[in-house]
């Protein structure tokens, strides 16, 4: 192990880490919106919405993230119609392709997490709201949804960490994130251990911080039943 | 559809064998993961502080870094490490480690960390009275583990192990970056030579969906079978 080399590549890797974090934050943001929409569709009684949301989450949870990324990055560019449309501005950029793939993927997992916490809400709350004459819509948005979000915090924390690890796949479609920088250094210096172990330390550090933030939020917003 | 025909004109047989390769790597990785889990679970549960730290070190590090990083480290670093070890014994030639072995080992190390957590949870959920009862009856520690704890631990961990299996199955797609010809790599090759990535990656997605669907059915059956008496 060459400590000097590890120190000298550290700034390059940090630049990559900034891109990793950008990818993570943007795709978690879109993923949360997608997840919320699909969770609401999932608990909807209409079978069409219901089945559609189920199919969506089944597909994105049943296939590897790499397949989804390749499908969007290489596959969509194959469609003539998309290439001539305004969408081409977005899907020709690897960065946006990665964001689309990651958002759709984490959206599927988020919808599943939210759905399961919807189902664990005690019936009594809904019945109490009904007996007080609260409309169904308000019960859903003001009672069920906030409780579900609070209850799903621990699982969502795991999802953030899984997604952080998932963003490393962006490196295979030429994005220079933390993983991409580590790969470049490995190719240039032929020192795989130094390059990947330093990158691993940075990943672990980010994981550690996310873990602690989620733990703090969990404590603060814990829902007492 | 003729792109998927078997024989020289289509990619059907190639994709079929690639699917078998994916299954083979996943099974090998799961088995390696079990070995790791059976080594590290006792360490994590041990009362000895040092052993505890070693066990926690393994699961925390592996679950905190990307899977791709572990694969790259073994793939690029493994050859160097093997050549270094060989040079100590006086062999200076080039050694190339098989992509299958590296891949299975990498995914095995990853799934082992998850399996360790699953086993640990299962053992902790076994009633304490059973440990005490077997102690009172004068059963030796080793027999207590093999005859009483292990069978229950395996039964209790089936549902969570099914998750670990699904993760391992999907993670094998990452081995494609090292050149092992499994579903993902084969679709990449096919997409490159026919210039139809959309079609071949969709086929890959469907193949993975079939695999996850079938394994889920199988595991559900196992779960029912082993929960008969409970």
Q: How far is CA A119 from CA A62, A85, A110, B154, B174, in A?
A: 22, 42, 14, 28, 34
Least Cα distance to A166 among A38, A18, A64 occurs for A64
CA of A161 vs chain B CAs: smallest distance (Å): 8
Q: What's the CA gap between B39 and B16, in Å, rounded?
A: 35
* B135 assigned to some structural domain: yes
How far apart CA B8 and CA B13 sit, in angstroms, is 9
A66/B65 touch (CB, cutoff 8 Å), yes or no:
no
Would you list the DSSP string of A104-155? HHHHHHHHHHHHHHHHTS-HHHHHHHHHTT--HHHIIIIIIHHHHHHHTHHH
Percentage above 70 pLDDT, chain A: 99
Nearest CB neighbour to B68, from listed A68, A179, A193: A179
pLDDT average, residue stretch A203-225: 88
Cβ contact, residue pair B69, A168, below 8 Å = yes
How far is residue B183's CA from residue A123's CA, in Å, rounded to a whole number?
45
pLDDT at residue number B110: 95
Contact call for residues A24 and A179 (beta carbons, < 8 A): no
pTM of the model: 0.90
Q: How far apart are CA B74 and CA B32, in angstroms?
A: 15
* Per-residue DSSP letter, B137: T
Buried b / exposed e across A169-188, counting CB within 10 Å, b at 16+?
bbbbbebbbbbbbbbbbbee
Low-confidence ranges of chain B (pLDDT < 50): none
In chain A, helix, strand, coil percent, each to 5?
85, 0, 15
Total tally of structural domains belonging to chain A: 1
Nearest to B215 by CA among B151, B186, B185, B172: B172
Q: Nearest chain B Cα to A76, which residue?
A: B198
Is the pLDDT assigned to residue A224 strictly greater than 70?
A: no
* Confidence at residue B94, expressed as pLDDT on a 0 to 100 scale: 76
Q: How far is B107 from chain A (nearest CA, A)?
A: 14
Task: Tell whether A171 is covered by a domain.
Answer: yes
What is the residue range of B147's domain?
Answer: 20-182
Residue B99 forms part of a structural domain: yes
Residue A43 lies in a domain: yes
Domain holding A23: CATH number? 1.10.3720.10
- CB within 8 Å: B69 and A192: no
Does residue A184 carry a pLDDT above 80?
yes
Q: How far is CA A221 from CA A119, A147, A153, B154, in A?
A: 19, 10, 9, 36
Weakest mean pLDDT among A79-83, A95-99, B214-218: A79-83
pLDDT value of position B93: 74
Q: What is the pLDDT of residue B201?
A: 93
B176: closest CA among A94, A202, A65?
A65
- Asked whether residue A8 carries a pLDDT value surpassing 80, the answer given is yes
Tell me whether residue B94 is in a domain.
yes
The alpha-carbon radius of gyration of chain B (Å, integer) is 21
How much is the average pLDDT of A157-174?
93
pLDDT value at residue A43: 85
Per DSSP, A178 falls in state H
- Tokens standing for residue A168: 């490393």
Residue B2 lies in a domain: no
**B69·A171 Cβ contact <8 A:** no
Helix, strand or coil for residue B92?
coil
Q: How many structural domains are present in chain B?
A: 1
Whether residue A225 lies inside any domain: the answer is no
Quote the mean pLDDT of chain A. 90
| pLDDT tens sequence across A9-38 | 999 999 999 999 999 999 999 999 999 999
How far CA B180 is from CA of A72, A103, A166, B100, B104, in Å, comes to 23, 28, 21, 6, 11
- Mutation site for B-interface testing, chosen from A55, A57, A73, A75 by largest number of B Cβ within 10 Å: A75
Q: Residue B145 has what DSSP assignment? A: I
CB contacts of B208 in chain A (<8 Å) are 62-64, 67
Q: Residue B212: inside a domain, yes or no? A: no
pLDDT of residue B142: 85
Residue B62 belongs to a domain with what CATH number?
A: 1.10.3720.10
Testing the interface with A: which of B68, B166, B176 to mutate, by most A Cβ within 10 A? B68
pLDDT at B77: 85
Best of A58, A66, A72, A194 to mutate (most B CBs within 10 Å, chain B):
A66
Interface of A with B in 42-101 (CB under 8 A): 58-59, 62-68, 70-71, 74-79
Residue A4 has pLDDT above 70, yes or no: yes
Alpha-carbon Rg for chain A, nearest whole angstrom, is 21
Chain B residues close to A168, C-beta within 8 Å? 66-69
Is position B4 within any domain? no
Looking at this predicted complex, what is its ipTM? 0.87
Judging contacts by C-beta atoms under 8 Å, the chain B residues touching residue A203 are: 64-66, 69
Is any Cβ of chain B less than 8 angstroms from the Cβ of A171? yes
């Amino acid at each position: 192990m060459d400590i000097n080399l590890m120190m000298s590549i550290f700034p390059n890797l940090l630049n990559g880490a900034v891109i990793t974090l950008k990818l993570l934050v943007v795709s978690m943001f879109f993923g949360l919106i997608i997840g919320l929409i699909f969770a609401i569709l999932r608990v909807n009684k209409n079978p069409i919405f219901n089945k559609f949301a189920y199919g969506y989450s089944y597909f994105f949870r049943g296939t590897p993230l790499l397949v989804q990324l390749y499908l969007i990055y290489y596959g969509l560019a194959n469609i003539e119609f998309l290439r001539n449309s305004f969408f081409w501005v977005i899907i020709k950029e690897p960065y946006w392709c990665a964001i689309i793939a990651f958002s759709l993927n984490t959206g599927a997992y988020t919808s599943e997490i939210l759905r399961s916490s919807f189902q664990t809400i005690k019936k009594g709350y809904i019945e109490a709201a009904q007996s007080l004459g609260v409309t169904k819509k308000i019960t859903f948005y003001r009672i069920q949804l906030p409780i579900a979000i609070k209850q799903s915090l621990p699982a969502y924390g795991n999802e953030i960490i899984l997604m952080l690890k998932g963003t490393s796949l962006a490196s295979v479609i030429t994005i220079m994130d933390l993983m991409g920088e580590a790969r470049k250094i490995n190719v240039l210096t032929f020192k795989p251990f130094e390059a990947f172990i330093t990158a691993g330390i940075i990943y672990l550090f980010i994981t550690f911080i996310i873990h602690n933030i989620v733990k703090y939020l969990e404590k603060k917003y814990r829902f007492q039943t | 559809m003729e792109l998927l025909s078997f024989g020289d004109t289509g990619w059907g047989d190639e994709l079929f064998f690639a699917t078998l390769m994916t299954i083979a790597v996943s099974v090998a990785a799961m088995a390696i993961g079990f070995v790791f889990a059976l080594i590290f679970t006792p360490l994590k549960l041990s009362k000895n502080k040092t052993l505890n730290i070693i066990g926690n070190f393994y699961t925390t590090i592996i679950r905190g870094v990307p899977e791709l990083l572990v694969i790259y480290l073994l793939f690029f670093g493994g050859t160097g490490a093997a050549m270094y070890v060989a040079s100590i014994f006086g062999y200076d030639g080039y050694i190339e480690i098989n992509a299958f072995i590296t891949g299975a080992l990498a995914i095995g190390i990853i799934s082992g960390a998850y399996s360790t957590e699953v086993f640990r949870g299962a053992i902790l959920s076994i009633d304490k009275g059973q440990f005490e009862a077997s102690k009172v009856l004068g059963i030796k520690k080793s027999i207590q583990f093999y005859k009483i704890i292990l069978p229950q631990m395996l039964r209790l961990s089936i549902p969570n192990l099914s998750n670990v299996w699904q993760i391992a199955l999907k993670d094998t797609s990452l081995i494609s970056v090292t050149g092992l010809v499994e579903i993902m790599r084969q679709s990449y090759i096919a997409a490159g030579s026919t210039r139809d990535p959309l079609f071949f990656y969709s086929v890959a997605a469907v193949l993975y969906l079939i695999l996850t669907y079938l394994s889920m059915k199988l595991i559900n059956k196992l779960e029912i079978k082993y929960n008969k008496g409970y």
